[in-house]
Structure 1
Amino acid sequence: MSIRTFLHLPPRAAVTAALLALGGLLCGCAQMGETLSPAFVDPAKYDLYDCKQLETERAALTSRAAELQGLMSKAETGVGGAVVAEVAYRNDYVAVRAQQKLAEENWRRSRCDETIVATPAPIVPPVPARGARSR
């Protein structure tokens, strides 16, 4: 579509064409954002973390990524939601995903293991032997 043809379109068609072009550009940015994610995080950020700190950080990052994903999904349900989701949440989401990846790499490099929280066994009072008298 040439500029001359675009200028002679009815206003509604021109707006629709502009929104489609903007949507295509944003889709390209979203795909590009996932590949540029290392630019959003300091490569040495987790170098001095021990396994316990990394475990806490990984849990917090997983929670934040899920929260941002939910916010983006919710925003996409409204009018112009894809644009709102991209503008408002995409950069934060890409940064969190980059931090998750870096924390995960340091986790593996440090050979950390998941902490298994042991549930204490219930305390059961001893059963008196048969024939024993209770006081």
Structure 2
Amino acid sequence: MIASARRRLVCVPLAAAAVLLAGCGLSDDKALTMVNRGKYSLFNCDQLKSQAVQLSVRERELREAMARSASGPGGELVNAIAYRSEYLTVKGEIEELEITANAKNCRQSVRAISDGVIR
């Protein structure tokens, strides 16, 4: 009984440390690597614009949720577990949309659309 309690006392902090370190591996500069290149290559400019609006709304929602949870106890841990990977995926998809829109010479920049939605 005592040995299993000691084992739990050792395992819980190690598990928490592993989760925290896993969140550190996902930095903002890795966002584009989480998205398939050419994912939006078959989209036309209107479809790119529509997708940019949807992704920008989701990015804002995730950023607000991360800010709310960061203010509470264990907030960074919650962010790493619940929000961080999806947030980086959405950011990467917005970047991929921008690359595709530039390649297709779309009139309105995806970045301008996403900035307008965020504000």
What's the TM-score, normalizing by structure 1?
A: 0.62
* Pair 1:29-2:25 in alignment: yes
Once residues 52 and 35 of structure 1 are traced to their aligned partners in structure 2, the CA distance between those partners, rounded to angstroms, is 28
Q: Aligned to 1:84, which of 59, 65, 78?
A: 78
Question: In 1, are the aligned partners of 2:23 and 2:84 still within 8 Å (CA)?
Answer: no
**Structure 1: which 5+ runs fail to align?**
1-10, 12-17, 115-135
Superposed CA deviations along residues 11-34 of structure 1, whole A, max 9, x for unmatched, are 9xxxxxx69x94973673243xx2
**Structure 2: which 5+ runs fail to align?**
1-8, 109-119
Q: Provide the residue aligned with 1:49 in structure 2.
A: 43
Q: Provide the residue aligned with 1:95 in structure 2.
A: 89
Once residues 74 and 100 of structure 2 are traced to their aligned partners in structure 1, the CA distance between those partners, rounded to angstroms, is 39
Amino acid at match of 1:81: G
Superposed CA deviations along residues 56-115 of structure 1, whole A, max 9, x for unmatched, are 01111111111100010011111101100111000000000000000011111111113x
Q: Provide the residue aligned with 1:105 in structure 2.
A: 99
* Residue 40 of structure 1, CA deviation: 1.9
* Pair 1:69-2:63 in alignment: yes
What's the TM-score, normalizing by structure 2?
A: 0.69
Once residues 56 and 20 of structure 2 are traced to their aligned partners in structure 1, the CA distance between those partners, rounded to angstroms, is 29
Once residues 27 and 51 of structure 1 are traced to their aligned partners in structure 2, the CA distance between those partners, rounded to angstroms, is 35
Bigger-Rg structure (1/2) = 1
> Identity of counterpart residues, as a percentage?
27
How many residue pairs match? The answer is 97
Once residues 103 and 95 of structure 2 are traced to their aligned partners in structure 1, the CA distance between those partners, rounded to angstroms, is 12
The structure with the largest helix share of the pair is 2
Once residues 83 and 24 of structure 1 are traced to their aligned partners in structure 2, the CA distance between those partners, rounded to angstroms, is 6
